[in-house]
Amino acid sequence: MKVLLGTPPRAVPKPWISFIGAINVPAMVSAFELLKVKAPGDSPLHTLLQHSGEVWVDSGGYQFLSRGVEIGVDDVAGVYLRFWDASRYLSLDYPPLPTDDDETAFKKFLKTIEAYARLSRLLEGEDIEVTPVIHYYKNEELVFRVMRKIIDFNPRELAIGGLVPYILVTRNVPRNSRWRALLFIAKVISEFNGMVHVLGLGSPSITPTLELLGVHSTDSSTWRVKAAYGKVILPGGGERHVTGRRVNFGRRVIKPSELEELYNFLRSTGFPLLSNYPDGLYSSFEYRALVNAWVTLMSRERPRGRSFRLMYERIQAL
């Protein structure tokens, strides 16, 4: 299963440069960020990222909505035409909230379908293929009605959004939502005759389970976010503090045994920057981010968290 690293286009570090010759690093950027960028050169996106490999572009629908920014299909099409050299382009989407009633959610689903149809028409003939997005919602039959309408367009790939609150957060959602959401993914894969990308679930806590389900790819930007908070991600999931920065959540400090475990994992998987370990963890955001990126890309260990481990074992048993 492929894991894409989400990143702002001009951010550092750039793991695809640091890991060159070791592993391929697919990346994902958002149209929300690209909207502010002037396209450079003959290969705009690859030149901007200094990336010669696989790059996807997300519509940034959630970012626009969360910041109260109005954006239309024509705006997204304009960004995609400027940055024409990506491997995949995700359609503009309107994700429902876990608290939305069925009527509100269905209206958002219809807007998502309409956006996909219009965006596909606008980019037809431009060698830019648009990947439609569906969203998990508590009324799953409603989602499958929408999915079957999208399948009529015969896309090669389908992305599932809206799963993070149900699987990684699980606050203000119905009981047993994590298990229901995983079974939902399995059902989508069984009904859709193509590749399935799951948005935002590239955490080592859940990627081994997604791989068991047959998910083609997922993505995550937490490798940078955790590093900025002074944290490292452990193989199998979980995060530990390695700096003295004050935080309001996840206060667990890394133990000597966990430092050794992380070192052994990095060494056994061929991490190319071991000479800076462990000092770089304490002193450098960029080094922490690169360690987190490597663990995110490479970890398929059995999840260490009890609830995630139980989900993994249940899926494995099936």
Domain presence at residue 312: no
Domain presence at residue 318: no
Supply the pLDDT for residue 282. Answer: 96
Supply the pLDDT for residue 247. Answer: 61
Domain presence at residue 146: yes
Kind plus residue range of the DSSP H or E element containing 224: helix 222-228
Nearest CA-CA partner of 299 in 278, 254, 268: 268
Q: Are residues 22 and 133 in the same domain?
A: yes
pLDDT tens digits, residue range 298-318? 999 999 999 999 999 999 998
Place of tokens 């003959």: 42
Q: Give the chain's domain count.
A: 2
Range of the domain at 187: 2-224
pLDDT grade for 98, boundaries at 50, 70 and 90: confident
Supply the pLDDT for residue 14. Answer: 98
- What mean pLDDT comes out for the span 281-287? 97
Distances (CA, A) of 177 to 32, 98, 137, 185, 230: 30, 11, 10, 12, 30
pLDDT tens digits, residue range 39-83? 777 889 999 999 999 999 999 877 776 777 778 899 999 999 999
Domain presence at residue 309: no
Q: Are residues 176 and 220 in the same domain?
A: yes
Supply the pLDDT for residue 250. Answer: 61
Nearest CA-CA partner of 118 in 144, 93, 98: 93
Q: Are residues 217 and 233 in the same domain?
A: no
Supply the pLDDT for residue 33. Answer: 93
Supply the pLDDT for residue 238. Answer: 94
Domain presence at residue 234: yes
Supply the pLDDT for residue 71. Answer: 84
Q: Are residues 201 and 288 in the same domain?
A: no
pLDDT tens digits, residue range 225-276? 999 999 999 999 999 999 976 666 567 899 999 999 999 999 999 999 999 9
Locate the DSSP E strands across 129-252. Answer: 130-131, 133-135, 157-161, 195-198, 217-220, 231-233, 239-241
Q: Are residues 97 and 192 in the same domain?
A: yes
Q: Are residues 90 and 127 in the same domain?
A: yes
How much helix, strand and coil, in percent to the nearest 5, is found in the chain? Answer: 45, 15, 40
**Residue 60 to residue 157: CA distance in whole angstroms:** 18
Q: Are residues 271 and 162 in the same domain?
A: no
| Average pLDDT, rounded, for the chain | 93
Q: Are residues 220 and 234 in the same domain?
A: no
Residue where one domain finishes, among candidates 224, 244, 260? 224
Supply the pLDDT for residue 68. Answer: 72
Residue where one domain finishes, among candidates 224, 256, 288? 224
Domain presence at residue 86: yes
Residue where one domain finishes, among candidates 193, 224, 255? 224
Q: Are residues 109 and 234 in the same domain?
A: no
Domain presence at residue 315: no
pLDDT tens digits, residue range 118-146? 999 999 989 898 999 999 999 999 999 99
123: its two tokens:
């980019």
pLDDT tens digits, residue range 172-212? 667 788 999 999 999 999 999 999 999 999 999 999 999 99
pLDDT grade for 23, boundaries at 50, 70 and 90: very high
pLDDT grade for 101, boundaries at 50, 70 and 90: very high
Q: Are residues 127 and 28 in the same domain?
A: yes
Supply the pLDDT for residue 226. Answer: 96
Q: Are residues 74 and 187 in the same domain?
A: yes
Tell me how crowded residue 221 is: count the other CB atoms within 10 A of its CB. 19
Domain presence at residue 311: no
Q: Are residues 157 and 248 in the same domain?
A: no
> What CATH number is given to the structural domain containing 166?
3.20.20.105
